[in-house]
Amino acid sequence: MARPVAGFVVSITIDGSVQSQGATSEVPFEDDLFVEQLEEEGIGKVRGEVDSLPAAADEKSPDGKLILAEEIEEGHVSFSALKLYFSALGGDRPILFVLAVVIGLLTTDLLDATMAWYLGYWASQYEDHPASEVPVFYHLRIYGALLICSVVFYCTSFVVYIHGAIRAARTIHEQLVEAVLGTTMRWLDVTPTSRVIARCTQDISAVDGPIPSGLRMLTRISIIMLVKFGAVVLLTPAFLLPGVLVAIIGGWCGQVYIAAQLSVKREMSNAKAPVLGHFGAVIAGITSIRAYGAQEAFQIESLNRIDRYTRAARTFYNLNRWIGIRIDIISGLFTASLATYLVYFQNQKASNTGFALNMAVGFSGMILLWVRVLNDFEVSSNSLERIQGYVHIEQESKPTQRGVPPAYWPASGEIRVENLSAKYSADGPNVLHDLSFTIQSGQRIGIGESNQVGLLGS
C-alpha cells in the first residue's frame, strides 16, 4: 500500500530472507504473494486514473442497485400536464379569467387594426377635399380615443393574466415541495438528488417565466392572426382559400418542427441532471480525488457528460434554422400574390390597398412567429410533465386527528404480531418471514434486527 509514495522496496520471504530489492521502477516483484496482493488492491501501476463511469450511470439500475432510470416521455405534451398549469392559472374562477384575458386581447387587436385603417381613411380625405377643409383636430381626437381605449384594454388584460401567472407558479411550487417532502423513504433512496434539484430549480424556473410568457404570447399572436386574416378577407374575399392554404402548410411545417424539437428537448433535460450530479460529487470528493491524482479521469468523465448534453442542445437550436427558411418562403409567396392581385386585378382606393397589404404582410409574418412561439411553449411545457411526474409520487400516510393517541397513552396493553412478513419495496423479496410474537404490558424485550424496530415504530 505504501508503494505509490515509496522509492525503494524490499521483498522478504516467510523465512526472513530477502527475495528482491531495488527501486520501485526496477524491481521485478517475482513474489507471487506480493503480486497477488497488488492485483487485489489495484495498485500494480499508479497512473492517477480511475475507471470512467458511463455517462448515464446514475440513470441505470444494474445488478440490483437502487437507482432507477429516469423516464422519458414521447410525443406531444400530455393534456394532464397542461391541465396542471391551466387549473392553477384560472384559480377559483377559470371562466371569468379566460373571458377577461381573451376579450381584452381581442378588443386591443381590433382597435389596433381600426387605427391602421383610420390612418388610411384620414389620408384619403386629402384626395377628395382641399387640405384646408380636412378637420385635423377632429381626426386626432378620434385616433387618440382609439389609442387610449387600446391601452386600457391591453393593460387590464395584462394585469389579470400576470396575477393568474403568479398564482399558478405559487400553487405548482407548493404542490411539488409538498410531494417531495411527503414522499416515502424508498422513493428518496431510488431517486438521485440531482433529479430533485433539477425539478425544483430548472423546471420551476420554466413555470415562473417561459411558460406564462409563452402562453400569453401564443394567445396574443393567434388573435392577431385572426384579426389580420379577417381584414384581408373582408377587402379581398378571393384570398380566403389561399390564406387558409398558407395557414395549413405553415401548421404542417410547425407540427414536423415541434415533433422533432420536443424529443430533442426531452433528451436535453435528461442529459442535464447527470452533469449536475457529477459536478456535485466531484466537489464533495475533491480532497480524495486530488490525493489519488485522479483529476484527469474525472475531467474526462465531466467532458463526456457535457458532450452528451451539448449534442442534444446543438440539434435543438439547429432545428430553428430548418423551420425559418420554409416559413419565410411561404410568407413571401402569399404576400407577393396578394400584392400582384391588388395592383393589377383590382380597382380599389390606395388607402384600402395599403391597408390590405399591411394586414397581409402582418399575417404572413405572424405564421413563422406563431409556429416558433407554439413550439417554445410546448418545449417549455416539458417542464410541466417533469414536475407532474414528481407531484404524483407515492406518499406517506397523512396524519389525521383520529390517529393522534390520547395524552395518557400507553397506560397499559400488549402488542401481538402473527405471521408478519415484510419487504423494502413492493417488487422486492421478503426480508422478514412469518414472524409471530407477543409483547406483554411492561415487558422489556431485546431486538437484534433493525427492520423489526422500524416495523414496530411504524
- Strands 430-439, 8-12: parallel, antiparallel or unpaired by DSSP? unpaired
CA distance 180 to 311: 31
pTM, rounded to two decimals:
0.62
Residue 392: CA count within 13 A, CB half-sphere: 8
Amino acid at 7: G
Residues 6+ apart with CB under 8 A from 340: none
- Residue the block writes with cell 526496477: 26
CB neighbours (10 Å) of residue 359?
24
- Residue the block writes with cell 390597398: 353
CB neighbours (10 Å) of residue 387?
24
CA distance 339 to 353: 9
Phi, psi of 21 (to 5 degrees): -155, 160
Closest residue by Cα to residue 2 from 39, 46, 66: 46
Whether 438 contacts 415, CB under 8 Å: yes
Which set of grid coordinates corresponds to residue 228? 389580420
Q: What's the mean per-residue pLDDT of the chain?
A: 78
Q: Is the pLDDT of residue 70 over 70?
A: no
Peptide bond into 135 cis (omega under 30): no
Residue-wise pLDDT tens digits, 99-156: 999 999 999 999 988 888 888 888 878 777 777 777 888 889 998 999 999 999 999 9
Amino acid at 229: F
Which set of grid coordinates corresponds to residue 209? 417565466
| 321 SS3 class | helix
pLDDT of residue 32: 52
Residue-wise pLDDT tens digits, 244-302: 888 788 878 878 887 787 778 778 877 887 888 888 888 888 888 888 888 888 889 88
Residue-wise pLDDT tens digits, 401-425: 777 777 777 777 778 888 888 877 6
Picking from 66-75, 209-218, 253-262, 416-425, which range would have the lowest pLDDT averaged per residue? 66-75
Phi, psi of 402 (to 5 degrees): -70, -25
Q: 441: which DSSP letter?
A: T
Distances (CA, A) of 88 to 213, 218, 379: 15, 18, 19
Residue-wise pLDDT tens digits, 164-184: 999 999 999 999 998 888 888
Most distant CA pair in the chain, distance = 126
Which set of grid coordinates corresponds to residue 291? 490525493
